[in-house]
Amino acid sequence: MTRSIERIRLHRLRMPLVRPFRTSFGTQTDRDVVLVELTLADTPSGWGECVSMAWPGYNSEYTDGAVAVMSEYLVPALVAGAGAQDPADADHRMEPIRGHAMAKAALSTAFMDAWLRREGRSLAGFLGATRAQVDCGVSVGIPAGEDLDALLAEVSLYVDAGYRRIKLKIEPGWDLVPVAAVRDRWPDMALQVDANQAYTRDDAEHLARLDPFNLLLIEQPLHEDDLYGHTLLAERCRTPICLDESILSLAVADGAIHWRATSVINIKPGRVGGYLASKAIHDLCLSRNIPVWCGGMLETGLGRAANLALAALPGFTLPGDTSASDRYFRMDITEPFVLDDGRLSVPTGAGIGIDPIDAALAEVRVSSVDLLPAH
Please report the pLDDT score of residue 245 as a whole number: 97
Name, in order, each residue with C-beta under 8 angstroms of 364's C-beta and a sequence gap of 6 or more. 13, 14, 15, 333
Please report the pLDDT score of residue 1 as a whole number: 46
The answer, yes or no, to whether residue 374 has pLDDT greater than 80, is no
Residue 113 corresponds to which amino acid? D
CB 150, CB 144: distance < 8 Å: yes
Give me the CATH number covering residue 44.
Answer: 3.30.390.10
The count of domains in the chain is 2
Residues 129 and 89 in one domain: no
Residues 172-220: pLDDT tens digits? 999 999 999 999 999 999 999 999 999 999 999 999 999 999 999 999 9
Catalytic pick from 104, 167, 169, 279? Answer: 169
Which residues, in sequence order, are bridge partners of residue 36? 10, 48
Q: Is 268 a catalytic residue?
A: yes
Residues 46 and 169 in one domain: no
Catalytic pick from 104, 167, 268, 279? Answer: 268
Residues 219 and 321 in one domain: yes
Cα separation of 323 and 227, whole Å? 29
DSSP letter for 171, please: B
Residues 68 and 108 in one domain: yes
DSSP letter for 22, please: E
Residues 254 and 278 in one domain: yes
Residues 30 and 109 in one domain: yes
Q: What stretches of the chain show up as alpha helix (H) in DSSP?
A: 63-69, 75-79, 87-94, 101-119, 123-127, 148-161, 176-185, 204-208, 227-236, 250-258, 269-272, 275-287, 301-311, 358-364
Within 10 angstroms of residue 236's Cβ, the number of other Cβ atoms is: 15
Residue 246 corresponds to which amino acid? S
Q: Would you tell me the crossing angle of helices 87-94 and 101-119 to the nearest 10 degrees? A: 160
Q: Which domain holds residue 338?
A: 125-345
Q: Is 169 a catalytic residue?
A: yes
Residues 244 and 176 in one domain: yes
Rounded mean pLDDT of the chain? Answer: 96
The answer, yes or no, to whether residue 24 has pLDDT greater than 90, is no
Entry pTM = 0.97
Residues 35-62: pLDDT tens digits? 999 999 888 999 999 999 999 989 999 9
Q: Is residue 353 part of a domain?
A: no
Integer CA distances (angstroms), 316 to 16, 105, 173, 253, in order: 30, 20, 32, 15
